[in-house]
Amino acid sequence: MTDTLCAQYQALGISPEVLSYGRQVLDQLAPRFAKIDETAEYNQLKVIKAMQEARVSEACLLGTTGYGYNDLGRETLEKVYANVFHTQAALVRPQITCGTHALALALMSNLRPGDELLSPVGKPYDTLEEVIGIRPSRGSLKEYGIRYRQVDLQSGSRFDWEGIKNAVNEKTKLVTIQRSKGYQTRESFSVEQIGELIAFLKLLKPDLICMVDNCYGEFTQTIEPTDVGADLCVGSLIKNPGGGLAPIGGYLAGKEACIENAACRLTSPGLGREVGATLNVLPSFYQGLFLAPTVTAGALKGAIFAANLYERLGFLVVPSGSAERYDIIQAVEFGTPEGLIAFCEGIQSAAPVDSFVTPTPWDMPGYDSQVIMAAGAFISGASIELSADGPLKPPYAAYFQGGLTWEHAKFGILKSLQRCLDKKIVSKLPSGL
């Protein structure tokens, strides 16, 4: 590292001690970073191929107003997503407000009163609890007579095969599989693990709809859950597939019938996919998807760097510093609210937007405890951008993700460590690795 670069880091508040420690950690990660770059290259070519096969043209970027009839850009974009995910159809819309909305849309459109929803991977992400009715809420699946059951994971994030077998019955209609850990400290699942689970479920009941919550997982591997049997794959455009450019939106990719059900719920029966103006968002949707493989690669490098940096200091990190990565989220357990808050303060101070703001815990809608969130983002709430959050409850884990570039992710992690060092959460850095 040149003296000029060191001076720039120091001008931004990174001490020589923290910089030296970070450099020692990075020196050991070069082989893993090379593998991530190879995955990004494969996925970049996959996206280009999908766009060429769908015959994306300049006219696709124009958008529509009003009803959005005959929106060439919208229809072509959905062909692109279907090509990327190797599915029959896709629904990609700015009217889908977030990942939770996309998941709720998939569930509410493909389940009917009397059906049963099963999660074979334990409790879902916090914001889905009110969608399902685990916590009472207006309009939940429970209010519509849809029952929910779950089979908890065994130790080591292993599937409870016998428990799953006993849970599937004649009313089980849809199975939801959350790929990423959410606010849990379990391992996230690889596409191969998800494929094994889906194959087992289909043997038990071939007509089960297997839906995967793909949030934070897109482009971390060369295959997606729909390549291993998922009937539906669901995610948010302000996470991986939006590449940091999409200002809003969500996607569903899967079987034609499942997608049409979702479209009729999003718009109206009889209208389905035929309406929905795209206004001026199409250029960001297309270009964001084009950039997504390399943006995701930078975020993956940041997650691995954070894991190794904090693991060597004695903190429990999930996944571990040496584990294979299947999403962009890195959990670091601090054990105290002060540690979680200090980490988030450091991430916020590294932001290009609102770096001067101090994040504080608050009663965020959809959660059962106060949550602290650090995100100085160009797109509000975009967790493909450098961000960190966590609920103010044991084990006081910080969930770090994002970074539109590897360089920014690296800087943010160093700032988090600097804040933890300044606030005595970390007492001392090792002198050698």
Q: Which of 281, 313, 339 is the last residue of a domain?
A: 281
Q: Which of 225, 258, 281 is the last residue of a domain?
A: 281
Same-domain check for residues 151 and 113 = yes
Region 336-361 average pLDDT: 96
**Structural domain total, the chain:** 2
Region 419-427 average pLDDT: 95
Q: Is the pLDDT of residue 432 over 70?
A: no
Examine residue 114 and state whether it is found in any structural domain, yes or no. yes
Same-domain check for residues 258 and 306 = no
- The answer to whether the predicted template modeling score (pTM) of the entire model surpasses 0.85 is yes
Same-domain check for residues 275 and 352 = no
Counting Cβ atoms within 10 Å, is residue 342 exposed (0-12), middle (13-18) or buried (19+)? buried
Question: What's the pLDDT at 185?
Answer: 75
Region 4-15 average pLDDT: 96
CATH of the domain at 300: 3.90.1150.60
- Percent pLDDT > 90 in the chain is 93
Helix (H/G/I), strand (E/B), else coil: 197: helix
Same-domain check for residues 193 and 154 = yes
Same-domain check for residues 257 and 306 = no
Question: What's the pLDDT at 182?
Answer: 78
Buried b (16+ CB within 10 A) or exposed e, 415-430: bbbbbbbeeebbeebe
Confidence band of 199 (pLDDT split at 50, 70, 90): very high
Region 284-291 average pLDDT: 98
Same-domain check for residues 194 and 324 = no
Tens of pLDDT along 218-267? 999 999 999 999 999 999 999 999 999 999 999 999 999 999 999 999 99
Instruction: Please state, in angstroms and rounded to a whole number, the distance separating the CA atoms of residues 224 and 255.
Output: 14
Q: Which of 281, 308, 331 is the last residue of a domain?
A: 281
Counting Cβ atoms within 10 Å, is residue 11 exposed (0-12), middle (13-18) or buried (19+)? exposed
Tens of pLDDT along 135-149? 999 999 999 999 999
Confidence band of 171 (pLDDT split at 50, 70, 90): very high
Same-domain check for residues 88 and 144 = yes
- Average pLDDT, rounded, for the chain: 96
Tens of pLDDT along 65-105? 999 999 999 999 999 999 999 999 999 999 999 999 999 99
Same-domain check for residues 238 and 135 = yes
Residue with tokens 């954070």: 306
Tens of pLDDT along 373-395? 999 999 998 999 999 999 999 99
Question: What's the pLDDT at 183?
Answer: 75
Q: Is the pLDDT of residue 433 over 70?
A: no
Q: Is the pLDDT of residue 363 over 90?
A: no
Region 286-307 average pLDDT: 98
